[in-house]
Amino acid sequence: MTTQPLEKEMTPIHWTAHLELLAALLSGILIAVAWSVGKSGMEQASILLYIVAFLIGGFAKAKEGIEETITDKQLNVEMLMVFAAIGSAVIGYWAEGAILIFIFAISGALETYTLNKSHKEISALMEMQPEVAWLMHADGTVSQVSTESLSVGSILLVKPGERIPVDGCIVKGSTSVDLSAINGESVPVSREKGDDLFAGTVNMSGAIQMEMTKPSSETLFQKIIQLVQNAQSEKSPSQQFIERFEGTYVKVVIATVLIMMVLPHFLFGWDWTTTFYRAIVLLVVASPCALVASIMPATLAAVSNGAKRGILFKGGLHLEHVGTLKAIAFDKTGTLTTGKPVVTDFIVRGGMESEEVLALLAAIESQSNHPLARAITNYASEQGIRIPPAPQIEDVPGYGIRAFVGADEYLVGNPRFVGEDNVHSFKDDVAKQLASEGKTVIYMKDQEGILACAALRDTLRPEAARAIRDLKQLGIAPIMLTGDNQLTASAIAKEAGVSNYVSECLPEKKVEEIKHLMSEYGTVGMVGDGINDAPALAASTSGIAMGDGTDVALETADVVLMQNNLNRLAYAVKLSRKMQRIVKQNIFFSISVIVILILSNFMQVVDLPLGVIGHEGSTILVILNGLRMLNLIDKE
C-alpha cells in the first residue's frame, strides 16, 4: 500500500477531532443558555435552543450512525443514542436529551483524538522524508531533483545540515549523522566510506557523496509507515468480538425497551408516563457505549506508543499475543550477536614480531571478500598497522589462501589446509583452547610451521545479556536456536545468559523446535533476522524481526524491532500486558456501570439526568483510561 493516500488522511482526521470538540462545546454552551432562558419563563425559546444544541452536538454521531446502519444493515450504538435523545425530547426532557447528546459528542471527539494521536507518528515520519536531492552528474555538475525521479545507483551530494534523501551508502567523505529518527538516540554517530545511510536522518558535519541503494519507495521510513498503517487497520480479537457483540446487543436493547414501554404498566401498575419514561432511561443506560470504547482507544494508543519507540506491531492481534508469551526463541547470528566476526586473539610463534606478522597476514587477507578476511584486515587497521602492498595469492575455495612473497610461500586458512599436525604442535595446542571458547581460528603457515593464528568470534550485541535478564524477570524463558556447532553455541549462550539452546539448527529444525516449545509452553515468540528464520517466525505465536533483517523476515514477522535493540522486547511485553490490564479494567467497569444503572432504573432510583451522566461519564472514563497507553511504560 502506498503512503500517499495516508498522507491525505492526516489533515481530515486532525481537523475532525477539533471540529467535533468545537461542536460539542458549542452544544454545551447552547444547553446552558437554553436552561437559563427556560428558567426565566421563555419556554418556547428554550426549546428552540435545545433543538439547535441537538443538531450541532449530535450531527456528527448521527451521520456516522445512519451511514453505518445503511452499510452494515443493522443498528448500532450511535443510533441508540439518537433514539434516546429523541425519546427524551418527546416526553419533555429537553435538557436531559441535550446533555446526553453533549456528553456523547465529547466522548466521540475523544475517540477521534485517539485515532489522530495514533496517526501522528506516521505524519511526523513523513515530514522527515526529503522531497528533493542533489544529483551528481557524470560531468561533475550538481542539480536539485525530486527524490521520486532518482534510481538505484544514483550518486548524490548531501550537504552539512541536510536530511539524507534516500537509503544508500557513502562513496566519498566522512561525517557524523543524527540517527535519532531511527534509533531514538540523541548522540550522532560517525559514518565513513562504505557505511550505510538512512533516509530522513540528518548529516551533521561534512559534505558527503552517497550512492542510492534502494528505491525511494522501499526506504526504512517507508517500511515503518506501511507497518504502522497496517497495524492501525487490523483489529484485535477482543475488538472484533466486541463489534460482533455490539450488533446483537443493540437489537436486544431495542426489543427490551419496546417491551418496557408496555409490560410494566400491566405488571406493576405504573402509569403510562412513568412506563415510557423508564423505557427511555433504559435505552440510555443499557447502551454499550463504554463497552464498545473499552478496547480500540487503548489499542491504538499502544500501537502509537510502540511505534514511537521503534516497536512496530502489525495489528492488535499481535499486540495482544506478545503479552501472553511464555517463552521466546532467539536466532543467534544477527539477532543475539552482531553478525559480524571480530578478531579476539592474535598469537604468533615465539621469537617473531607480532606487528610484522599481522601486517603480512592483513596484506594477504586484504584481497579476499570473505567476512573472516575482512575482520582480520579491520583488526590490523584498528591496531594502527600499516598494511603493505598485497602479495601474489592463489585462492583455494573451502580451505584458504596460498600467498607468495618472493621465494617464500605462506598458507592462510583452516586446520585441514595448513595441516592438522602443525596445528596441534603450535603453542601447546592453543587451537583446542580457542575452539572451546566458541571461536573460529585462522592459521598462517610458513616453511617452518604455524607462524600465527587469529581467533575470531561473532560478538554478542551489547544489550543482549540485559535483554535476556529482563525477559527472565518477566517470567519469559529465553531459548537460543543456531546453526553453529555445539562449542560456539555454548559459548554465546553462556555469555548471553541463555541456559537452554539448540545447536546445528537448520531452518526446518528451527520450525520443529518452535512446535516442540509451543507444546511445552503454549505461547512462544521467535526473534530472527534472516531468510532462514522466516519459517520459524511464521510458525511461532509471535514472529519478531530485527529491523535490519531481510525483507522476507520483515514481511513474515508480526512485530518488528526497527532499532535492532533487543531491550525493546521487554518493553513490548510490558506494553502489551499493560494494555490487556487496561482493557480488562475498562470492560469490567463498563459492564458494572450498565448493570447497576439498569437495576437502579427498574427500582426507580435513577432518573434520566443521572442515567445520562452515569452512562456517558463511564464512556469518557474508559476512553481516558485507554489513553494512558500513550505514556512511557515505567522502568523501561
pLDDT at 444: 93
pLDDT at 406: 83
What are the sequence ranges of the domains in the chain? 4-124+235-304+575-630, 132-216, 315-337+461-574, 340-459
What's the whole-number average pLDDT of the chain? 81
Task: Return d(Cα 299, Cα 627) in angstroms, integer.
Answer: 9
Known active-site residue 558:
no
The answer to whether 529 touches 548, Cβ cutoff 8 Å, is yes
Residue 45 cell numbers, joined: 425559546
Question: Is pLDDT at 270 greater than 90 in this prediction?
Answer: no
Residue 364 cell numbers, joined: 594477504
Question: Is pLDDT at 292 greater than 90 in this prediction?
Answer: no
Q: 566-593 burial, b for 16+ CB within 10 Å, e for fewer?
A: bbbbbbbbbbbbbbbebbebbbebbeeb
Question: Is pLDDT at 319 greater than 50 in this prediction?
Answer: yes
pLDDT top residue among 471 and 97: 471
Q: Cβ contacts of residue 334 below 8 Å, gap of 6+?
A: 528, 529, 530, 546, 549
Q: Would the CATH topology of 132-216 be identical to that of 340-459?
A: no
pLDDT at 550: 59
**Topology at the third CATH level for domain 132-216:** 2.70.150
Phi and psi at 403, nearest 5°, equal: -120, 150
| Paired residues of 432 in beta bridges | none
Confidence of residue 624 (pLDDT cuts 50, 70, 90): confident
Domain spanning 340-459: CATH 3.40.1110.10: yes
Average pLDDT estimate for 418-424: 82
Residue 176 cell numbers, joined: 557524523
User: pLDDT tens digit string along 162-196?
Assistant: 888 888 999 998 888 876 655 444 456 778 888 88
The answer to whether 270 touches 264, Cβ cutoff 8 Å, is yes
Residue 354 cell numbers, joined: 607480532
Q: Which of 331, 446, 458, 529 is catalytic?
A: 331
Task: Return d(Cα 1, Cα 629) in angstroms, integer.
Answer: 27
pLDDT at 8: 38
Average pLDDT estimate for 568-577: 93
CATH class of the region 315-337+461-574: alpha beta
Share of the chain above pLDDT 70, in %: 85
User: pLDDT tens digit string along 432-469?
Assistant: 778 777 788 889 999 888 899 898 888 888 899 999 99
Share of the chain above pLDDT 90, in %: 19
Torsion, CA 296, CA 299, CA 13, CA 15, rounded to 10: 90
Contacts 24+ apart (CB under 8 A), 587-592: 587/291, 587/294, 587/295, 589/290, 589/618, 589/621, 589/622, 589/625, 590/288, 590/290, 590/291, 590/293, 590/294, 590/618, 590/619, 590/622, 591/291
Confidence of residue 10 (pLDDT cuts 50, 70, 90): very low
- Would you give the distance in Å from CA 408 to the centre of its chain? 57
Average pLDDT estimate for 198-222: 81
Instruction: Name the DSSP class of 332.
Output: I
Task: Return d(Cα 51, Cα 53) in angstroms, integer.
Answer: 5
